[in-house]
Amino acid sequence: MKILAVNAGSSSLKFQLLVMPEEKEIVSGQVERIGWDDAIITFKLNGEKIKETFQILNHKYAVELVIQGLLKHKAIESLEEIKGVGHRVVQGGEIFKTSVIITDEVVEQIRSLNDLAPLHNPANITGIEAFRKALPNIPQVAVFDTTFHQTMTEDAYLYAAPYEWYEKYHVRKYGFHGTSHQFVSERCAEILGKKEHKIIVAHLGNGASICAVKNGKSVDTSMGLTPLEGIPMGTRSGNIDPAVLMLIAGKEDKTIGEVIDDLNKKSGYLGVSGFSNDSRDIIDGMNRGDYRATLAHKIQVKRILDYIGSYYVYMGGLDAICFTAGIGENAPEIRRDVIKGMEVLGVKLDEVENEKRGERMISTKDSKVKAFIIPTNEEVMLARETVRLSK
């Protein structure tokens, strides 16, 4: 059966059509700059990339172009071939403990969580509504970034803040990148051949998070109420003393909201280096001796190691660490420095394997803790959940 996996952002729409249960990709692509006169739609199929420019002012038209493109490029002969659509939704709050078939009620429940993810959930809903109108007669499934982390216990997900904040406003750690952490940890457990395992997944991209997985369940993760908490990222600060907000608001004559915006969009790699949020630029800067680029790299590596050490103690040991996502899969310098920092835990880096790409073990055979590159595939997780619930 053919399943369409969808990830709708505020001005973008990523998609992938897969044959299930074989998990074979037929076509993938994205629509960029939705809301602009020069929006771009890209299809990748049969080893070819097809790119076109349109005026795409809303998600409804973007979805129409995606469906027309699937037919035009012969990815499907008719719409009846699509048996389900899986939608990524960032925030499921405490309402959604697992993926669900989308109904009008579910859409309204997702909408009720907009305060917890104001940048993401409204965009996810827009994509859902557009596809429900375009393909009204097939099951559509919401898969939440947060559900994999619903197995965390209170000591891991609660903040040491007034308990009434949790009772009244559901202030707690939710965690994100759940579909990625689940996919990678399940693949790692398969490689290890162990049902009982202790795995740390480092999802390192422009957005980045660390997750501790014990026996297939998330027990802790670095992102919190929002994706701002945790390690430094491309433009996000990660953890910071909350008192900084009031200090900078006063000094710079800004609102708290504006300072938080700076922490989301002008911090991390970009804020420390002063010139880029792209890890490739940061590495290039390091190689030419740029002090602040080197500092940005060192700060992130140090913070990653902070979480790894904490999770090692919390789980009572560690079998493997996995690197995934854009930086985790493609930046050997990051992997090298993180693993070298973990040597005290018995990890030994295979320098040759670390320079390669694709799924592989990058620790030596005698390494006490194994290290892997495992490419993530969030679209496959969306498709798996869609098949499971569609049945």
Phi-psi region of 256 (alpha: psi -120 to 50; beta: other; left: phi over 0): alpha
Q: Are strands 12-19 and 24-32 parallel, antiparallel or unpaired?
A: antiparallel
Contacts within 8 Å (CB) and 24+ apart, 23-32: 23/380, 23/383, 23/384, 25/379, 26/2, 26/75, 27/70, 27/73, 27/75, 28/379, 29/66, 29/69, 31/56, 31/62, 31/65, 31/66
User: CB atoms < 10 A from the CB of 298, how many?
Assistant: 13
Sorted by sequence, the CB contacts under 8 Å of residue 317 that are 6+ apart come out as 198
pLDDT at 214: 98
Residue 380 near residue 183, CB atoms below 8 Å: yes
The predicted-structure confidence for 213-247, as pLDDT tens digits, reads as follows 999 999 999 999 998 999 999 999 999 999 999 99
35/390 Cα distance (integer angstroms) = 32
Span 362-383, average pLDDT: 95
CA 303 centroid distance within chain: 18
Cis geometry, peptide bond prior to residue 375 (ω within 30 degrees of 0) = no
- The mean pLDDT of the chain is 94
pLDDT at 10 over 80: no
| The pair of three-digit structure tokens given for residue 279, joined into one six-digit string | 């890890």
Residue 179 near residue 381, CB atoms below 8 Å: yes
- Tell me the HSE value of 245 on the side-chain side, using a 13 A CA sphere: 14
The predicted-structure confidence for 281-323, as pLDDT tens digits, reads as follows 999 999 999 999 999 999 999 999 999 999 999 999 999 999 9
Please report which confidence band the pLDDT of residue 373 belongs to, taking 50, 70 and 90 as the band edges. very high
Q: Are strands 140-144 and 100-101 parallel, antiparallel or unpaired?
A: antiparallel
Q: 């499907």: which residue's tokens? A: 76
pLDDT at 206 over 80: yes
pLDDT at 380 over 80: yes
Could you say which of 37, 115, 145, 253 is catalytic? Answer: 145
185/47 Cα distance (integer angstroms) = 29
Please report which confidence band the pLDDT of residue 9 belongs to, taking 50, 70 and 90 as the band edges. confident
pLDDT at 33: 84
pLDDT at 390 over 90: no
Closest to 311 measured CA to CA, from 321, 297, 299: 321
Tell me the C-alpha to C-alpha distance, in Å, between residue 100 and each of 21, 84, 104: 19, 13, 12
The predicted-structure confidence for 338-356, as pLDDT tens digits, reads as follows 999 999 999 999 999 999 9
pLDDT at 15 over 80: yes
Per the annotation, the verdict on 115 as an active-site residue is: no
* Phi, psi dihedral angles at 284 (to 5 degrees): -60, -40
Give the type of residue at 32.
E
